[in-house]
Structure 1
Amino acid sequence: MKVSIAEIADLVQGRVVGDPDRMINGVAPFEQAGEHDITVAGNARFLKKINDCSAAAMIVPKDIEIPQRNLVQVANPMVAFARVLQHFHPPVRPLDGIHPRAEIGREFKYGQHISIGPQVAIGHHVTLGDQVWLHPGVVIGDKVAIGNDVIIHPNVTIQERTIIGNRVIIHSGTVVGSDGFGFAPDGTTYHKIPHTGIVQIDDDVEIGTNNAIDRGTFGKTHIRQGVKTDNLVHVAHNVTVGENTVLVAQVGISGSVTIGKNAILAGQAGIAGHLTIGDHVTVGPQTGVGKSVPDGQIVSAGIPEMPHRLWLRVVRTIPRLPDISKRLRRLEKRFKDIEKKLD
């Protein structure tokens, strides 16, 4: 594919500085871009190394001017770069049809241009919209409803009565709609609590590989519009994840948590049950959240790196902290008594 810089600028609603007719053959990262590629220099770290880059053109912030370089100035360089990548590497579309080795249940309804691969198992009373692509090994339970332009990658399981919206992508190995972790103890053993609810995934959601999203005990577990999850994320029963929230790898969310919109939960963050995480909240990596967090807050409690010898000293000190605290309080009291006598 060859595209002029002017055409790229039109695609991303940018402004060309330099030669608008220069042809671009590909897209590459800053350090690897060659004389026929376009790249992105979206922040000061890259802009300082402009002279080391061989790219034919660069996508830059709209206020950046670089002499003798071809530029596309835009408001948001990374979003523009993503659009250019999508243009050069459009998604592959499979052949339409149902593979003869797929197993299809009763009263299966589907739209136009569907592709169902080998070893797919579809239950009874399932509905698929238009342009749905089920890769090999996908399992769809009874009474599942899936919207338009959905891609479900190999070996995904969608349990019964799950609702999936439009333009959803679910990556390999994920299970949607399994039972939540609910048991009633009697002091000796545990009795399983049936989970009778569902999972609802709204439009424009992308779920990473090997996620586990549990159905509600009653009602539903709700993944709202625009949510993106990384690999190895667990969402427990009756959780609501708000619009355009991001869950990074190995995040664990306990039951009945409500997460607001545009939140970011960094890697290995854990949220205790029945809490509310507000809009635009950032939870740092390895942070255990034990109480609700209001809108706009940034909370962190992860383990920072440190030299190993210092870490050994810190670990030895931690068990002694309660005793050290008592001694400090006693010393404070003695100093106050001495100050009173001196006065």
Structure 2
Amino acid sequence: MEFTIQELAHLLKGEVRGNESEKVHTICKIQEGKKGAITFLANPKYEKFIYDTEASAVIVSKSFDPKKEVKTSLIIVEDAYQSFSVLLEEYERLVKMQKTGIEQPSYISSSAKLGEKIYVGAFAYIGENVKIGDNCKIYPQAFIGDDVTIGDNTIIYAGAKINARTELGSYVTIQSGVVIGSEGFGFAPQPDGSYKRIPQIGNVVIKDHVDVGANTAIDCATTGSTIIEEGTKLDNLIQVAHNVKVGKNTVIAAQAGIAGSAEIGNYCMVGGQVGIVGHLKIADKTGLGPKAGIMSSIKKEGTNVLGGPAFDLKQYMKSYVVFRKLPDLLKRIEELEKSLG
């Protein structure tokens, strides 16, 4: 794919200073610039590279004031970093959406309904009564179970498993190794000390613009639905248990674990390796620091916590100062005890 610098400037709502008709076909770092590539300058410590880069175009902010001659063409925008993000997003979309057609061997049930311009990779499986929207991409070895519905422009990467009755919205991205709709961890203790399996007959509902990272597992509900609301982003290796509800535009980092029926609010930030006990409620805009152990509900919006069990971030930081001094404090106490005889 090739674009003129002027075409890219139009996309980014920028102004060209230089050769607007020159074509670019790739993206690179500013220090690795080459002809036919476009890059950006946002961090001042990389400014030295702009004077020697061989890239055909560099995206810069209006505030950029060159110290000497710049040989390459510039696309001048309000915010270079934000504009470069837009460019990356558009480039990724164009690359991903190029794939169409159905590769063989693959299995598609005769009762499945497929949208237009979809791609189904080799060895993919699409079950009975599946409904897949337009422009969806199902990569090789993906499994789509019976009665699954998938909105438009959704991408399911190689080896992902979307189990029966799952509902995926539009513009959803499911990375490789994800398992959605697996049986929840439901076992009832028996008088003899054994455990009896409780059937999990619910489903998973994932709304529009959700991203799910590689090897994350989202369990189906016992009854009803496990729900991931619009715009939420899940990192790799996350466990979301049965009947959990995660609000919209919440981000959850790798290795977090959310136990059954917990509810996380909107616009929350959950750090890596956080553990959340079941049946708790986390208020909107809550920040859970890395490795935090959440043992009770958080009711106040905007709360930030850290530690295990977790408590208020500011109090935690004050406590940690004391914790670091404990060896010295112990030594001083022992010396006092000796002096008192």
Find the residue that maps to 1:31 and give its secondary structure. Answer: helix
CA deviations over 1:72-130 (Å, ceiling 9, x no partner): 3434433321332345552243342363x333345222222333333222322222222
Aligned residue for 1:259? 264
Q: Which runs of 5+ in 1 are unaligned?
A: 303-313, 332-343
Question: Does the aligned pair in 1 maintain the 2:31–2:49 contact within 8 Å?
Answer: no
Please give the alpha-carbon distance, in whole angstroms, between the structure 1 residues aligned to 2:230 and 2:158: 23
Please give the alpha-carbon distance, in whole angstroms, between the structure 1 residues aligned to 2:31 and 2:295: 42
Aligned residue for 1:301? 307
**Superposed displacement of residue 4, structure 1:** 4.1
**Superposed displacement of residue 58, structure 1:** 3.3
Runs of 4+ with deviation above 6 angstroms: none
CA deviations over 1:254-311 (Å, ceiling 9, x no partner): 2222222232223222222222333333323222223334333333339xxxxxxxxx
Find the residue that maps to 1:231 and give its secondary structure. Answer: coil
Answering whether residue 111 of structure 2 is matched by residue 107 of structure 1, we say: yes
Find the residue that maps to 2:177 and give its secondary structure. Answer: coil
Please give the alpha-carbon distance, in whole angstroms, between the structure 2 residues aligned to 1:10 and 1:56: 16
Aligned residue for 1:245? 250
Answering whether residue 120 of structure 2 is matched by residue 119 of structure 1, we say: no
Aligned residue for 2:83? 80
Aligned residue for 1:176? 180
Q: How does 1:9-88 map to 2 (within 5 A)?
A: 9-16=9-16, 20=20, 23-34=23-34, 36-47=36-47, 55-67=55-67, 68-69=69-70, 70-88=73-91
Aligned residue for 1:130? 134
CA pair 23-203 structure 1, distance change in 2 beyond 3 A? same
Aligned residue for 1:207? 212
Please give the alpha-carbon distance, in whole angstroms, between the structure 2 residues aligned to 1:280 and 1:52: 44
Greater mean deviation of Cα atoms: 154-163 or 119-128? 119-128
CA RMSD of aligned residues (A): 3.4
CA pair 74-229 structure 1, distance change in 2 beyond 3 A? farther
CA pair 190-24 structure 1, distance change in 2 beyond 3 A? same
Question: Does the aligned pair in 2 maintain the 1:125–1:144 contact within 8 Å?
Answer: yes
TM-score (norm 1): 0.77
**Superposed displacement of residue 137, structure 1:** 1.7
**Superposed displacement of residue 174, structure 1:** 0.9
Please give the alpha-carbon distance, in whole angstroms, between the structure 2 residues aligned to 1:31 and 1:296: 40
Aligned length: 314
TM-score (norm 2): 0.78
Letter aligned with residue 162 of structure 1: T
CA pair 107-23 structure 1, distance change in 2 beyond 3 A? closer
Letter aligned with residue 125 of structure 1: N
Q: Which runs of 5+ in 2 are unaligned?
A: 309-319
Please give the alpha-carbon distance, in whole angstroms, between the structure 2 residues aligned to 1:191 and 1:217: 14
Question: Does the aligned pair in 1 maintain the 2:100–2:120 contact within 8 Å?
Answer: no
CA deviations over 1:13-35 (Å, ceiling 9, x no partner): 23445665565453212332346
CA deviations over 1:172-224 (Å, ceiling 9, x no partner): 11110011112211351112222221101111222121110011122111111
Find the residue that maps to 1:58 and give its secondary structure. Answer: strand
Aligned residue for 2:202? 197
Greater mean deviation of Cα atoms: 21-30 or 137-146? 21-30
**Superposed displacement of residue 234, structure 1:** 1.3
Q: What is the aligned-residue identity percentage?
A: 37
Find the partner of 2:293 among 284, 288, 291.
Answer: 288
Please give the alpha-carbon distance, in whole angstroms, between the structure 2 residues aligned to 1:284 and 1:74: 35
